[in-house]
């Protein structure tokens, strides 16, 4: 027993020393951006923000901390007696790499506090990577808990492309607007890893663990098809898929509007303003582009107020839009959000 105990202690000590040396080496020669995780999956497989706690996010010299409250809101909380405005969107609305007071949801809150007679409470449920399907699913799953007076959607540059790939909803047939809600498979590995005691703290403090996590993530992404280009050739099959994506997007907004009407809430749709081409380049997907071409007519027919703010935003940005985005990232910086 003594021999085996000594061997076990020796193995533990040598492993600890090796990990410490590896940690020091990564910190010295390949320091990592130390970020926690704020994404969790619901029972239906919908990815949402955490409902409590904090998460550190670092990219280069930019470091912010996000705070969460129920149900899955970022740096905002439900306030009884106030008119709640549920804000839905992707990373732009979430406030990627922005402190809480600099997100444009927080800026809107400040404007409402200063200028409106009524008391409004803007709550931020946006999630990086979301599209139109997640906006509807979140509202259906948590809207009755939030009880919004207004649902405010900030439409962005790939919201329609993301809808079919999310697999949250699918069209019932090839011509109509009926939808089926699907259960999305959850990652067993993520569920297990996220449940490990101390894991969140470690990925926010250990360069070695973050290096390993990033390597696994990169290897998992290898081989995925590239995103659709706006100048891709339109084959008959591609055209049919594009039209189906647009119809799915319209069906999702019809479903969201129906949810709002059943509960006496109002649905408003606007854009982030950042989805149009700048200097001949664009990351806007072809299905999103096609959806927006007919958006004004579609929303007007449904009685849904819609406003694309990109002309005003581009006019404000002027000839130097790069001054309003985070360098080498593309998300709005503090000036861009304001």
pLDDT of 249 reads 96
For the stretch 243-261, pLDDT in tens is 999 999 999 999 999 999 9
pLDDT of 229 reads 37
Please tell me whether residue 212 adopts helix, strand or coil conformation.
helix
Please tell me whether residue 242 adopts helix, strand or coil conformation.
helix
Are 288 and 160 in contact by the 8 Å Cβ rule? The answer is yes
Question: With 90 as the cut, is the pLDDT of residue 88 above it?
Answer: yes
Q: In 116-273, which residue ranges form alpha helices assigned H by DSSP?
A: 132-146, 159-166, 188-194, 199-203, 207-221, 236-262
Q: Which residue has the tokens 């470091």?
A: 63
- Give the distance from CA 310 to its chain's centroid: 20
pLDDT of 211 reads 83
In eight-state DSSP terms, residue 114 is H
Q: Which residue has the tokens 């969790």?
A: 40
What length is written for the chain?
338
DSSP 275-292: -S-BTTB----HHHHHHH
Give, for 40, the enclosing helix (H) or strand (E): strand 39-41
For residues 222 and 224, give the distance between their C-alpha atoms in angstroms, rounded to a whole number: 6
Whole-model pTM: value is 0.86
Residue 195 phi, psi dihedral angles, 5° rounding = -85, -10
Q: What is the DSSP pairing of strand 306-307 with strand 266-271?
A: parallel
For the stretch 174-188, pLDDT in tens is 888 999 999 988 777
């Amino acid at each position: 027993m003594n021999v085996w105990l000594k061997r076990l202690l020796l193995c533990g000590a040598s492993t600890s020393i090796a990990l410490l040396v590896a940690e020091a080496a990564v910190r010295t020669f390949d320091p990592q951006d130390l970020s926690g995780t704020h994404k969790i999956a619901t029972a239906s497989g919908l990815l949402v923000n955490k409902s409590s706690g904090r998460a550190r996010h670092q990219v280069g010299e930019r470091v912010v901390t996000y705070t969460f409250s129920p149900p899955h809101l970022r740096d905002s909380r439900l306030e009884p007696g106030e008119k709640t405005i549920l804000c839905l969107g992707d990373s732009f609305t979430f406030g990627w790499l922005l402190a809480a007071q600099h997100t444009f949801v927080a800026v809107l809150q400040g404007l409402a506090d200063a200028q409106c007679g009524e008391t409004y409470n803007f709550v931020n449920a946006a999630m990086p990577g979301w599209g139109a399907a997640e906006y509807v699913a979140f509202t259906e799953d948590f809207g009755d808990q939030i009880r919004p007076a207004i649902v405010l959607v900030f439409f962005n540059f790939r919201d329609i492309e993301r809808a079919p790939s999310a697999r949250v909803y699918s069209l019932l047939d090839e011509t109509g607007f009926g939808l089926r809600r699907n259960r999305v498979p959850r990652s067993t590995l993520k569920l297990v890893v996220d449940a490990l005691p101390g894991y969140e703290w470690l990925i926010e403090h250990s360069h070695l663990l973050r290096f390993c996590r990033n390597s696994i993530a990169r290897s998992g992404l290898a081989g995925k098809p590239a995103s659709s280009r706006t100048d891709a050739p339109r084959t008959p099959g591609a055209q049919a898929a594009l039209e189906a994506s647009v119809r799915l997007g319209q069906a999702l907004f019809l479903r969201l509007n129906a949810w709002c009407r059943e509960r006496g809430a109002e649905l408003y749709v606007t854009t982030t303003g950042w989805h149009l081409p700048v200097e001949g380049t664009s990351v806007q997907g072809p299905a999103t582009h096609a959806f927006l071409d007919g958006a004004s007519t579609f929303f007007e027919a449904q009685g849904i107020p819609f406003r694309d703010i990109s002309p005003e935003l581009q006019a404000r940005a002027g000839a130097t839009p790069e001054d309003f985005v985070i360098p080498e990232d593309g998300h709005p910086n503090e000036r861009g959000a304001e």
